[in-house]
Amino acid sequence: MKKNITIAAFLLTFTLPMFAWSNHAGLTHIILKDHWKTSPPSKVKAESLASFLSKESKGIQAILDESDEWAAERLPHCPKPDPKLKFTPPTGTKKENLPFLFFTALRVNPQHKASLYIQSVEKSPVSKPSKELPNITTLNDKGKLVYEAFLPLREGESVSPLDILVTAVDEPDYDLDLYLFKDNESEFGQVYGFGEQPFGNPKIEYSSQAPFHMGFFHESKMIFALAGFLKRTYPEYRIHQFTKLSQYAFQTGHPYWGHRFAGWALHYLQDLTQPYHSSVLPRVGFGKQVGVQFLSMIGFDSAKVNMIEYITERHTLIEEYQYYLIKEIIGKKQNSHPVSVALTTAPSRSLDEWKDFDYVRNVITKEAYLAAEEADKEIENLEIQKYREIYPVEHPIHGILARLLSNTSYITRMYAKNFIKTQ
């Protein structure tokens, strides 16, 4: 038992929270602008969340119940919510109070601000933080959001579905999944039922969202036997929730929220195409994991520290580089860049592969997991410790990104075809 606890503790130190593709908005802009180039969807009218909820409050809880039932059957680690959290607004509830009740029923951060705005990837980066930023996120550390261009929308204003999706696809990283666990020191984390945070540091802001943005489904039986907490991930739950809400919004005549919810679901799908979000420790064998932990226990920490730092460097390098590269491709209209070509080349695979939500686990994350070892080795061989500059077009880092992001493009197009109503 002591050995099992030791190994589990070691694995815990490795599952440090990392952002996946850190420029979801830019990626989605390139992919869907190409996907819809011959028949762009018609503009729709912006609608506040409070307005949507006030008109559809009677039907929304049924949609949430469907997701909770699905999760209870498919994800045994995902408990059903307390009935007290259900979205059943008392008669006379003020319209402006409905979003808080809705987010509570969804079991996301109830402080999330679903304001009306668009993120203009073609106008970024900006020289100073957008005035809209306080209306968009509750993050203490705004990170790269200070470089993004956010423009306000008025209710009833016409907006393109592409702009809605490009904006929405980044939002889950803004605070939707923060502080949802019992040990995150939030009031709602005490009642949502998710228990203690399974991995990552519960005291660090961005870390608290990690279990909702990663999916480790294909590790060895030995790893799962000794580190069962790795099974406690929830991206499938979010994908199901937001897809069902999107479908409901389209069906009931609320296309703005149909697109926005779809963008939220798409975020988690794109996260899972990133190998480091579907594989815990690429190329670090079980024996090596145990070995460096044993050395640490007897006072030799350097091997463990070096390994953690080295793995973290490869994780962050690919994410940082991708963020700035996509900015440059869009800003300089580098349509012939190999990464741009990978994102805009129509996939040879059928866009009708999705049959049910099991596709997320059985195909999407499996493909990312299988790509992890080769990608990790190639990134290591680059001998680049961290992002410093955008490299010449022929640099091998672009080949790595092109291969990985071509799958992100495919999943994005497939989701758009199957779930996003464009007419």
Cβ atoms < 10 Å from Cβ of 59: 11
Q: Going along 61-129, which residue ranges are E strands?
A: 117-119
Tell me what pLDDT residue 67 has: 97
Tell me what pLDDT residue 116 has: 98
Cβ atoms < 10 Å from Cβ of 294: 16
Tell me what pLDDT residue 3 has: 42
Domain that holds residue 316: 2-41+164-419
- Judge whether 308 and 281 are in contact, CB under 8 Å: no
- Judge whether 406 and 343 are in contact, CB under 8 Å: yes
Using CA atoms, how far residue 197 sits from 11, 48, 183, 193, 232, in Å, is: 14, 32, 7, 11, 9
- Answer yes or no: is 354 within a domain: yes
Residue 187 corresponds to which tokens in the numbers above? Answer: 């009031």
List phi, psi (to 5°) of 158.
-75, 135
Going by C-alpha positions, the residue among 277, 251, 234 that lies closest to residue 366 is 277
277 residue type, one letter: H
How many C-alpha atoms does 421 have within 13 Å on its Cβ side? 19
- Answer yes or no: is 379 within a domain: yes
Residue 207 corresponds to which tokens in the numbers above? Answer: 């870390």
| Angstrom distance (rounded) from CA 397 to CA 402 | 9
Tell me what pLDDT residue 291 has: 53
Burial status of residue 40 (CB atoms within 10 A of its CB: 0-12, 13-18, 19 or more): middle
| Angstrom distance (rounded) from CA 169 to CA 105 | 21
Write down the residue that tokens 């680059």 correspond to.
Answer: 382
- Answer yes or no: is 355 within a domain: yes
Q: 3-class SS at 264? A: helix
Question: Domain of 262: which CATH number?
Answer: 1.10.575
What pLDDT tens digit does each residue of the chain (423 aa) get?
444 444 445 454 444 444 556 899 999 999 999 999 999 999 999 999 999 999 999 999 999 999 999 999 999 999 999 999 999 998 889 999 999 999 999 999 999 999 999 999 999 889 899 999 999 999 999 989 999 999 999 999 999 999 999 999 999 999 999 999 999 989 999 999 999 999 878 888 888 999 999 999 998 887 787 778 889 999 999 999 999 999 999 999 999 999 999 999 999 999 999 998 888 777 665 555 555 554 555 554 565 555 555 556 666 788 889 999 999 999 999 999 999 999 999 899 999 999 999 999 999 999 999 999 899 889 888 988 888 899 999 999 999 999 999 999 999 999 999 999 886
Q: 3-class SS at 82? A: coil
- Answer yes or no: is 76 within a domain: no
How many residues in the chain? 423
When divided into structural domains, the chain yields a total of 1
| Angstrom distance (rounded) from CA 324 to CA 375 | 19
Strands 150-152 and 117-119: antiparallel
- Judge whether 281 and 287 are in contact, CB under 8 Å: no
* Residue 305 β-bridge partners: none
Sign of CA dihedral 80, 83, 84, 90: positive
| Angstrom distance (rounded) from CA 42 to CA 255 | 10
Strands 150-152 and 158-159: unpaired
Residue 89 corresponds to which tokens in the numbers above? Answer: 């607004």
Classify 143 in phi/psi space as left (phi over 0), alpha (psi -120 to 50) or beta. Answer: left
- Judge whether 385 and 224 are in contact, CB under 8 Å: no
- Answer yes or no: is 48 within a domain: no
Residue 38 corresponds to which tokens in the numbers above? Answer: 């011959």
- Answer yes or no: is 408 within a domain: yes
Secondary structure letter of residue 337 according to DSSP: S
List phi, psi (to 5°) of 152.
-70, 150
Cβ atoms < 10 Å from Cβ of 391: 14
| Angstrom distance (rounded) from CA 188 to CA 204 | 17
Query: Residue 264 CA to chain centroid, in angstroms?
Result: 8
Sign of CA dihedral 360, 74, 172, 11: negative
- Judge whether 238 and 265 are in contact, CB under 8 Å: yes
Write down the residue that tokens 């300089």 correspond to.
Answer: 332
237 residue type, one letter: Y
Tell me what pLDDT residue 45 has: 98
| Angstrom distance (rounded) from CA 196 to CA 147 | 34
- Answer yes or no: is 150 within a domain: no
